Amino acid sequence: MKDLIASITGATPWDRLASLRDLVDGRIVFTTSFGIEDQALTHMIFDAALAIDVLTIDTGRLFPATYKLWADTEERYARRIQACYPDAQTVAAFVADWGINGFYHAREARSRCCGVRKVEPLQRALTGASGWVTGLRGDQSETRGAVALAGWDETHKLVKAAPLYDWTREQVVAFVETNGVPVNPLHAHGYPSIGCEPCTRAVAPGEPERAGRWWWESDESKECGLHIGTDGKLVRTKVAA
């Protein structure tokens, strides 16, 4: 596994995607949240007709603009983007305990909501997969500064890749503009990072990209749980021994 991961290379993100697909046997999944990075990767995957499944986790609390972008993207590429949904009974139990917007009042409630609406569906989405593509970039936040191109994800027991790990936001923006990739109009209104509607606000000039996510929490290392371990810290993929 160590040699395989070290062999995943490429000067550009699309080269890296092709390298990942060539070297990793079995199913590879790309999970998109329809952010600008994910739209760039969706374009690369669909344009090159790579055998990588593109799917999204529909939390049920996304912005209307995100749902429209989902439809626009499918129309643009004439491809379906698979949806993975949270378990309805589990969501109902959470809302019964905490209220529809209880996540504003306790960190525990917010973490639980993300767990129900994002983390558990992701676990199902990745079941049986050998590889996982993400839109993580190293300069998105201090927490994500150590993101690598590829490594072993111990939580899901697969190869996890971040083909845009060394790209800046400016490079991503230039790429989608050059290639006519549809993007969320909220990006132009101060939303560099877009998640669920009640948990995302516009950022002020000079604020970090992810400052608008769960802004009512004081913790600077704010993640939904998709990329963190049981200790609440970002999981840094590592080369397997």
Rounded CA separation 160/163 (Å): 10
Other Cβ atoms closer than 10 A to 75: 10
> Do 239 and 3 form a contact (C-beta atoms < 8 A)?
no
Q: What are phi and psi of 92, to 5 degrees?
A: -60, -40
Q: How far apart, in whole angstroms, are the C-alpha atoms of residue 34 and residue 218?
A: 26
Q: Is 224 a catalytic residue?
A: yes
Hey, how many other C-beta atoms are within 10 angstroms of the C-beta on 185?
12
CA distance 146 to 203: 23
- Burial class, 163, CB count within 10 angstroms (exposed 0-12 / middle 13-18 / buried 19+): buried
To the nearest 10°, the Cα dihedral for 189, 121, 90, 101? -10
State the catalytic residue, choosing from 113, 196, 199, 224: 224
Which residues are tagged catalytic? 224
